[in-house]
Structure 1
Amino acid sequence: MDSEDVKRGEQIAQSGKHAPADSPPAPVDGAALLAEVERFIRRFTVLPTEHAYVALVLWAVHTHFIVQLETTPRLACLSTEPGSGKTRVLEILDLLCHNPLLALDLSMSAFFRIVDDMQPSILLDEVDAIFTGKSKSEATEDLRRVINNGYRIGAVVQRVGGKNRDQVHEFRVFTPVAMAGLGNLPDTLMSRSVIVKMKRRAPGEKVEQFRDRLHRPVGRQIAERIAQWASEVGDLEYPELPEGVADRDADVWEPLLMVAAAAGGDWPQRAEKACLAFIADKPESSVSLGVRLLADIQKVWPEGAPTMFTGNLLMALADMEDAPWADLYGEGLRPRKLSKLLSDYGIKPKDVRVSGVGNAKGYRREDFWDAWQRYCPPVPDEGADEGSHSLKKGDIRDIRDTPLVTSGNTVAVTDTNSDKGDTPQPCDQAKQIDVADVTDVALSQRMCATQSGRSCPGCGAKVPAGHVQCPDCYQARQGVA
């Protein structure tokens, strides 16, 4: 522990004396002040990334500019295990923020009355006990809605009061809120938050022991200088947002980028990097299944290919690591569910042709462009990095030569060999496929059988690429001698 700092803290705590009242404070250097805030935070906390320190500094300082802001991002310090330093972060913020209020629990009525009266920086601990598990109730849902809406200026809660209950009272709920807890928050809160995923300190990660009686005076002195700097800065300017930062992400990060721009030095650059890093690392829980599907299709689409068969698309999605498609709903993503999810974005399967392969049900790349541009990160340049999930054209095989072991009606598959032109030609009897019912499952099985290394279900022999059984068993099934 810094002995000089301890001594200074004890002196301030005992005497309560500051600079003489008739001595005007010197102008504050914003960049140097934010650096001091960062040093103070680093003394008592270990955060998961350098960007997290930047975000925490800017969040603490932005509370002193709350009267100028249109939005105030929620700060969420979350962890999977206790003892990860979440509460310590709130204790440090309690020293640095404007008008702080550290609380374990707040009812909705207490929240909006306190905010309307004081506009404090609310520091809410153990939110997992409020918003998740058995504690979740109609009352906690009301609190969640108030915290959600209170991130934007002008948000109010209306209540009926008066002697005869004939008067409508409005309570302002716009105020900074930081939360700490285990697990995750409801998606609507996560989307409005800067999310810091806390971890337990490793054996080699050392911090100073925090003692409120010693460090509160020092922390509050820093807060006073932040308030002084905020008054000297005057009106904040709106900086140009990084490319791709819009809508809810802009609401969250614009106030922090404004503070960084006012501070100057290297803070604007550090803030922009932190902004992009946090957005890129946004938890998947805040992304709908449909948007996740669009983004993953964007990743696996064969480079340069205008169309893609349904079966090949399903196979590529199922092969993605850390993706939900292989075991979605316990059975994997099927053609009908794929079609249903994509139909919400105006995308429908069509009869498509893959050059050099043939015709079948599938999707056109051009049908995805509008949805990709609206819901997904910027579309990358053509070409995939090594190790990506994108299929190459050579991975797309002729699904017409993939027999299916079923029984029932015989369905002829047309032949579109290049030497016969583009006009479909009837296949010979050996290429007919026995299909009990042309279902999504059958289509998926037939289309997805495009990889070598299979074993024939009839005899166990190796199956050629693009087949689900060996030629002998297939011919026997067809009655071919």
Structure 2
Amino acid sequence: MGTYDIEPSTLDGAALLDSLRTALTRYVALPNPETADAIALWIAATHAQPAWAHAPRLVIRAPEKRCGKSRLLDIVEATCHNPFITVNSSPAAVYRSVSEDPPTLLVDEADTIFGPKADGNEDLRGLLNAGHQRNRPAKRYDATNQRVESIPTFAMAALAGIGAMPDTIEDRAVIARMRRRAPGETVAPYRHRRDRPALRLLADNLHAWLRADLSTLETAEPEMPVEDRAADTWEPLIAVADHAGGTWSDRSRTAVLALTAAADEDNDSNDRQRLLTDCRTAFGDELALPTAELLHRLRALDESPWREYGATGLTAMKLGSLLKEYGIRSDTMRFPGAGQAKGYRRADFADSWERYCADPPAKRDGDEATGGAIPLRRARSA
């Protein structure tokens, strides 16, 4: 960023973070308050990168398309420090742009870097993997000068994509799990020409506030609610929150615990969406089903992929893993006539069915939505 006519002593850090969070939630439907707080702190931390020993990644992931991940990346671009969009940039150009005061790397459609279409992006993958920690330069041989060069890799980066990123990225990341907006959820439309200037002014103020105290931030040792690599990743955000004061110190630690506790397990997005739709069919009119019965009904569906899903078909463990991304988990319940067993409640699927599944076809007289399985009596919670 350039030089701006801003007096840092007049800036209120907590108020700036509040304004940033308000901007995020104005334009993007975020899954929970903790995610909004974490993203605001991550953006603010990009303005003080020279102070940090680690450069946390921001992973913006969604189970399906149209979940707001690209719009969130737009807001990050407008408010972070020196955004560098890597689309159509050669690895050499990206490497040469990383300096002692690095830009913030932004990667949309991250499957072009890590997914099945990732051939030819080894250098960029290496930069994103190595750049989390300071003093991890890339070594390149300069044939013209016949010498080995050390190229800096340290830079904060935001990556948006469908599904999980590799463990090497997510283990070093603040993860925003996006979801499709429900019919009643609304956000303001974002227009680059109209809305970005005000957001860049906010970025200028964040920059002036944090750059005035880089030496303080560099020596900060905030009390962390997590340890090891998670502490390395979240320390810059906690340091910014403590520097701002107000409610941000407590909120930042609440966000750490909430987001680090969230499940990382993921699988192919098409399988997940198909499973959601098939679970709706399998439930029929039931309020709850034992896991074993749900698996039986899924495998019995016409043209079902679940009979041959893996070596032994869809298992209870894999079912739980696929549904966990949507926040759907099994519970121990008492089923009349069947005793106590693990199972799923219909109510826990309702939100995801509304967000991700097409409307079910209208039933004809005599049709059953149980896939040929014998209907269970409705279950009640233990």
Q: What band does the TM-score fall into relative to the shorter chain?
A: 0.5 to 0.7
* Structure of greater relative contact order (alpha carbons < 8 Å, 6+ residues apart): 2
Specify every segment of 5 or more residues in structure 1 that has no aligned partner in the other structure, as ranges. Answer: 1-17, 287-317, 334-385, 389-481
Aligned 8 A contact 2:164 2:264 in 1: no
Where do residues 15-164 of structure 1 align in structure 2 (5 Å cutoff)?
24=7, 27-116=10-99, 119-133=102-116, 135-137=117-119, 139-163=120-144
Distance 2:258 2:27 in 1: 24
Q: Does 1:274 align with 2:234?
A: no
State the partner residue of 2:188: 208
Where do residues 365-444 of structure 1 align in structure 2 (5 Å cutoff)?
387=332
Amino acid at match of 1:172: P
Distance 2:139 2:46 in 1: 25
State the partner residue of 2:165: 185
Q: Does 1:232 align with 2:216?
A: no
Shift of residue 329, structure 1, vs aligned partner: 4.5
State the partner residue of 1:176: 156
State the partner residue of 1:330: 312
Superposed CA deviations along residues 212-264 of structure 1, whole A, max 9, x for unmatched, are 1111110111011101111333412211111xx22211111111111111111
Superposed CA deviations along residues 405-430 of structure 1, whole A, max 9, x for unmatched, are xxxxxxxxxxxxxxxxxxxxxxxxxx
Paired residue for 1:259, among 240, 249, 254? Answer: 240
Aligned 8 A contact 2:7 2:208 in 1: no
Aligned 8 A contact 2:139 2:149 in 1: yes
Distance 2:115 2:21 in 1: 32
Amino acid at match of 1:54: D
Amino acid at match of 2:53: E
Aligned 8 A contact 1:121 1:176 in 2: yes
Specify the SS of the correspondent of 1:56: helix
Shift of residue 80, structure 1, vs aligned partner: 1.9
Distance of aligned partners of 1:174 and 1:128 in 2 relative to their CA distance in 1, 3 Å threshold:
same
Superposed CA deviations along residues 430-476 of structure 1, whole A, max 9, x for unmatched, are xxxxxxxxxxxxxxxxxxxxxxxxxxxxxxxxxxxxxxxxxxxxxxx
Superposed CA deviations along residues 110-168 of structure 1, whole A, max 9, x for unmatched, are 321111386110111111132112x122x3233222201101111211111153x5211
Distance 2:81 2:70 in 1: 18
Distance 1:24 1:118 in 2: 21
Distance 2:49 2:95 in 1: 17
Aligned 8 A contact 2:113 2:124 in 1: no
Aligned 8 A contact 1:105 1:124 in 2: no
Amino acid at match of 1:136: A
| TM-score for the superposition, normalised by structure 2 | 0.67
Specify every segment of 5 or more residues in structure 2 that has no aligned partner in the other structure, as ranges. Answer: 268-290, 296-308, 316-330, 334-382
Distance 2:7 2:175 in 1: 39
State the partner residue of 2:359: none
Shift of residue 27, structure 1, vs aligned partner: 1.7
Specify the SS of the correspondent of 2:78: helix
Distance of aligned partners of 1:25 and 1:196 in 2 relative to their CA distance in 1, 3 Å threshold:
closer
CA RMSD of aligned residues (A): 3.0
Aligned 8 A contact 1:105 1:125 in 2: no
Distance 1:54 1:248 in 2: 20
Aligned 8 A contact 2:49 2:101 in 1: no
Distance 2:24 2:197 in 1: 15
Paired residue for 2:227, among 223, 241, 246? Answer: 246
Aligned 8 A contact 2:8 2:209 in 1: no
Specify the SS of the correspondent of 1:224: helix
Shift of residue 25, structure 1, vs aligned partner: 6.1
Shift of residue 95, structure 1, vs aligned partner: 1.3
Specify the SS of the correspondent of 1:196: strand
Shift of residue 330, structure 1, vs aligned partner: 2.4
Shift of residue 103, structure 1, vs aligned partner: 3.2
Aligned 8 A contact 1:107 1:140 in 2: no
Specify the SS of the correspondent of 1:195: strand
Specify the SS of the correspondent of 1:194: strand
Give the number of the structure whose alpha-carbon radius of gyration is greater: 1
Specify the SS of the correspondent of 1:33: helix
